[in-house]
Amino acid sequence: MSADLFLTVFVAGVAAGTVFLFAAVGEIITERAGVLNLGLEGMMLVGAVTGFLVNHQFRQLWLGVLAAVVAGGALGLLHALLVVSFRTNQVVTGLTLVIFAGGLSGYAGESVVGVAPPATFEPVAIPLLSAIPVLGRVFFRQNPLVYLSYGLVVATWFWLFKTRPGLNLRSVGESPETADAVGISVTRTRYAAVVAGGGFAGLAGAYLSLAQSPSWVPNMTAGRGWIAIALVIFATWSPVRAVFGAYVFGCVEALGFRLQAVGVDIPSFFVSMLPYLFTIVVLVVISRDTARRRLAAPASLGNAYVREER
Amino acid sequence: MSTHDPGPAEGAVELRGIVKRFPGIVANDNVDFSVARGEVHALLGENGAGKTTLMSILSGAYRPDAGTVSVGGRTMSFRSPKQAIEAGIGMVHQHFRLVQPLSVAENVLLGAPSTFRLAGNATEDRVAELAEAYGIRVNPSAKIWQLSVGEQQRVEILKALFREASVLILDEPTAVLTPQEATHLFSIMRRIASEDRAVIFISHKLDEVMAVADRVTVLRAGRGVATLTIGESDKANLARLMVGREVMFRVARSDHDAGAPRLTVKGLIATGDLGLPALRDVTLEVRAGEILGVAGVAGNGQRELTEVIAGLRPAISGTVAIGGRDLSASTPAERISAGLGYVPEDRLGTGLIPSLGCIDNVMLKRTDEFARGFFINKQAAEAATSELVDRFDVKTSSLHSPVSLMSGGNIQKLLLARELSAGPGALVVAQPTAGLDVGATEAIRRLLLEQRDAGVAVLLVSEDLDELLSLCDRIAVMYEGKVMGVVGAAGADREQIGLMMAGTASDPA
Ligand SMILES: Nc1ncnc2c1ncn2[C@@H]1O[C@H](COP(=O)(O)OP(=O)(O)O)[C@@H](O)[C@H]1O
Ligand SMILES: [Mg+2]
């Protein structure tokens, strides 16, 4: 294989990895507050269809993105309402949400299946930076949403680890009774985190339908939301490590297609299977290191908090 | 001890007619409680008396069903812990409210008003300064999970001091400390009280109350039974007020010689839940007919030791043997049939299945006995269970209702009954009386002594040094996964054991 093949795989890997990155960073925020959101896949679908429809209607790409974020956030609000206020089981609620949102997105997007979008996000070279050998091509000749993801990762990291609200959020995920006892509102913090995570998932969906493969096809996320959830564990709940993980997954996805493109004879179904196979392998590998995972995982992840209960 | 007069008008806290109900129980039944500034006020009562509930109402965690709370003369109606903090109430909970992966300084600062951006070093300096002012030793940049329990407690106290609490509540603070650490804590408490603040000291230990408090309020079964100055009380009358009847302080223990070594562990090395070393070369020998106590501050390898013996945690190296038979590679089931009984610290979880009834729980360990081919012989199981329940005086409304509905004492009796019914040669018991009331505690201790007298080798892990001193023949002290030494319990020196609990090896005199 030539060096050029590798380069194109990396370029395509970053582009394909960004959807994982958005979704995983959002999930990290949510889980850091102690709430599990398994509805990611569904929220992404709703984000994708909303972004596509708004763009289709108004010919406004960024308006589409904004609408997708709002739609994802709204589903996040629903999830928060159910699991934080009504204390429903987080796993079951998340799974239900996937099915609900899958149906909802299919219904909403019925009229635009296969329709070509009026505008799409195209790669833009960043002056100077894009001239750096190799790295310039891989990271700085991407579409604007990829650049947005760089900014959001840094902002999320800063927010989580360097600010007071971030400290509060992490405390709520580790020990809600402690946070409550010092006057931090567990409910408010969790709502905010789940809504933010939903917004990120919506953004991931819009990335898919407006940039990565500009179109709307029902269930077009094809399991990427689930991969993002695995990615959160892989990244041990760190947005910075999620970058690495997202691009690895992106490259695995890209590699299969490139190999096919250069004429290597592998069945296309096998190619589309690759990222999921890789996910399973990664999960097995990281699950061996239970001690590290136990330290990294937010201690109250998945548990509802009730003040007078013990 | 000091019995300075707090003066009548200097009310720091005034609780009137507090009622708090939980499903099926009245935890506080019309309780009055008042504390003056400048005093250490003990809240005495046995487990389940309602002490924590009462203080959780004062600290805003629970809302009372009736009654009024006033602080500094003003009537309050706290809707959250935050409002109580703002009114100057600080509470150190029995189960610490600390965020494990965060640093000491971050924990102290958590929730306190300050800047948007976290200022790392500056906050650590502030925390260090405060700690120094009170003679509290703790490293502000250490992560909580790296600290010993005693250190974690100091962080909790710092948290309250940092918020300038004028009333500091300590919920059973000495339960997790060595005797020396407890003495140090008492001096910090007196120091805080001398600054015209109030300290509320929750305890069920009479000696400690006598040693540090100015006044004491006794709770019994949810009711306030008396408030006395320490000058007008003594241990015997406090005990009577607390329990409602005469109590024996020492269980009778017969003298007899122990037999041959029954349960032996040699060179055990194992890791804890986080993969860090928990047992570093532990060697112990329990003889038939003796109780060997394991003393130590929580988290020094005691739990891991019992789990390794029971076969629930793999050892990296070392051997476990019962009656000379090496069981190091055996499954838990094989150890049971070799005569091992196990009463884990985690009664509802590892010990019993909370949602199952008495019969199912008893049957769990004796399925072979109650099998009829592939099926269960329910009648036999029920008969055997009701016999056990009678013999061990387990009080339950029904043999079928979930054991989680029973009181702590009855749960423990049932668990012990099941383990003893198998006629074990060796018994490993962890924290058997933690959280139990005086009556249940006495019953459990008597059962353990009966086993000893019947020739069973008993390994008793407890954080209650007094319990070990009154029950054991010998006491091994653990610190950071090592046995610091084994001392004879008769005439043992509390201070010396305390030093060993803090890591000083006993001199091999
Ligand atoms: N959150 C709760 N839910 C239900 N019952 C409780 C709760 N807290 C305490 N209780 C019950 O109230 C009684 C008093 O408990 P507690 O105040 O913890 O006693 P103490 O601190 O004196 O040991 C006990 O019977 C206990 O089981
Ligand atoms: Mg209590």
Say if residue B396's pLDDT is above 60: yes
- Distance from the B400 Cα atom to the nearest Cα atom in chain A, whole angstroms: 24
Say if residue B336's pLDDT is above 90: yes
Q: How far is CA B497 from the centre of its chain?
A: 18
CA torsion angle B9 B161 B147 A178 (round to 10) = 90
- Residues of chain A under the 50 pLDDT cut: none
Domain of A290? 3-309
Q: Which residue has the higher pLDDT, B290 or B248?
A: B290
| Residue B412 near residue B440, CB atoms below 8 Å | yes
pLDDT at B9: 42
Q: How many CB atoms lie within 10 A of CB A148?
A: 16
Strand partners, B342: B428
Report pLDDT digits (tens) over A189-225. 999 999 999 999 999 999 999 999 999 999 999 999 9
Exposed, middle or buried: residue A126 (CB in 10 Å: 0-12, 13-18, 19+)?
Answer: middle
pLDDT band (50, 70, 90) for residue B478: very high
pLDDT at A65: 98
Secondary structure (H, E, C), A114-147: CCCCCCCCCCEECCCHHHCCCHHHHHCEECHHHH
- In chain A, the largest separation of any two C-alpha atoms, in whole Å, equals 64
Residues in B closer than 8 angstroms to A291, CB to CB, are: 273-276
Of B365, B476, B349, B485, the residue nearest B420 (C-alpha): B365
* Three-state SS at B284: strand
DSSP state of B506: P
| Residue B84 near residue B59, CB atoms below 8 Å | yes
Count the domains in chain A.
Answer: 1
Alpha helices in B87-234 (DSSP H): 104-109, 120-133, 149-162, 179-193, 206-212
Q: Residue B59: closest CA among chain A residues belongs to which residue?
A: A181
Residues in B closer than 8 angstroms to A168, CB to CB, are: 110-111
State the closest ligand 1 atom to the C-alpha of B222, by its place in the atom list counted from 1.
Answer: 14
What percentage of residues in chain B have a pLDDT greater than 70? Answer: 96
CATH of the domain at A235: 1.10.3470
- Distance from the B2 Cα atom to the nearest Cα atom in chain A, whole angstroms: 33
What does the alpha-carbon distance between residue B128 and residue A260 come to, in Å, rounded to a whole number?
Answer: 62
* Span B286-304, average pLDDT: 95
Ligand 1 pocket: which of B19, B25, B26 to mutate (most atoms within 8 A of CB) = B25
Exposed, middle or buried: residue B491 (CB in 10 Å: 0-12, 13-18, 19+)?
Answer: exposed
| Distance between Cα B231 and ligand 1 center (Å) | 30
What does the alpha-carbon distance between residue B464 and residue B26 come to, in Å, rounded to a whole number?
Answer: 28
Report pLDDT digits (tens) over B143-153. 998 888 889 99
Exposed, middle or buried: residue B175 (CB in 10 Å: 0-12, 13-18, 19+)?
Answer: middle
Q: Whose CA is nearest to atom 18 of ligand 1?
A: B52
What does the alpha-carbon distance between residue A148 and residue B151 come to, in Å, rounded to a whole number?
Answer: 44
What does the alpha-carbon distance between residue B166 and residue B10 come to, in Å, rounded to a whole number?
Answer: 13
Say if residue B187's pLDDT is above 50: yes
Substitution target from A159, A167, A177, A182 for chain B, most B beta carbons within 10 A: A182
Substitution target from A32, A157, A164, A236 for chain B, most B beta carbons within 10 A: A164
pLDDT at B249: 56
State the closest ligand 1 atom to the C-alpha of B219, by its place in the atom list counted from 1.
Answer: 22
Residues in B closer than 8 angstroms to A295, CB to CB, are: 101, 145, 274
Domains B11-243 and B261-339+423-501 share a fold: yes
pLDDT at B454: 94
Q: How many CB atoms lie within 10 A of CB B331?
A: 10
pLDDT at B7: 43
Q: Whose CA is nearest to atom 14 of ligand 1?
A: B50
pLDDT at B376: 87
pLDDT at B4: 46
pLDDT at B302: 95
Question: Sheet containing B74-76: which strands, arranged edge to edge?
Answer: B25-36, B11-22, B66-71, B74-76
Look up the pTM and report it. 0.86
Say if residue B94's pLDDT is above 60: yes
Q: Which B residues, 140 through 169, put their C-beta within 8 Å of a C-beta on chain A?
A: 145, 159
Ligand nearest to the backbone CA of B49: 1
In degrees and rounded to multiples of 5, residue B246 shows phi and psi of -65, 140
Q: Which residue has the higher pLDDT, B505 or B161?
A: B161
Q: How would you classify the pairing of strands B89-92 and B261-271? A: unpaired
- Are A290 and B275 inside 8 Å of each other by CB? yes
pLDDT band (50, 70, 90) for residue B273: confident
pLDDT at A270: 83
Q: Is A183 on the interface with B (CB under 8 A)?
A: yes
Strand partners, B262: none
Of A208, A213, A250, the residue nearest A231 (C-alpha): A250
pLDDT at A294: 66
Nearest beta carbon to residue A164 from set B86, B118, B274: B118
Residue B48 Cβ < 6 Å to ligand 1: yes
Q: Is B115 on the interface with A (CB under 8 A)?
A: yes
Q: Which CATH superfamily is domain B261-339+423-501 in?
A: P-loop containing nucleotide triphosphate hydrolases (3.40.50.300)
Q: Which residue has the higher pLDDT, B175 or A149?
A: A149
What ipTM does this complex have?
0.84
| Residue A181 near residue B156, CB atoms below 8 Å | no
What does the alpha-carbon distance between residue B369 and residue B379 come to, in Å, rounded to a whole number?
Answer: 12
pLDDT band (50, 70, 90) for residue B135: confident
Q: How far is CA A89 from the centre of its chain?
A: 22
- Are B61 and A165 inside 8 Å of each other by CB? no
B11-243 is classed CATH 3.40.50.450: no
* Three-state SS at B320: strand
How far apart, in Å, do the first and last CA atoms of chain B sit?
A: 35
What does the alpha-carbon distance between residue B211 and residue B229 come to, in Å, rounded to a whole number?
Answer: 12
Q: Whose CA is nearest to atom 4 of ligand 1?
A: B22
- Distance from the B191 Cα atom to the nearest Cα atom in chain A, whole angstroms: 24
Q: How would you classify the pairing of strands B198-203 and B40-44? A: parallel
Q: Residue A167: closest CA among chain B residues belongs to which residue?
A: B110
Q: Which two tokens stand for residue B18?
A: 């507090």
- Distance from the B26 Cα atom to the nearest Cα atom in chain A, whole angstroms: 14
- In chain B, the largest separation of any two C-alpha atoms, in whole Å, equals 76
pLDDT band (50, 70, 90) for residue B358: very high
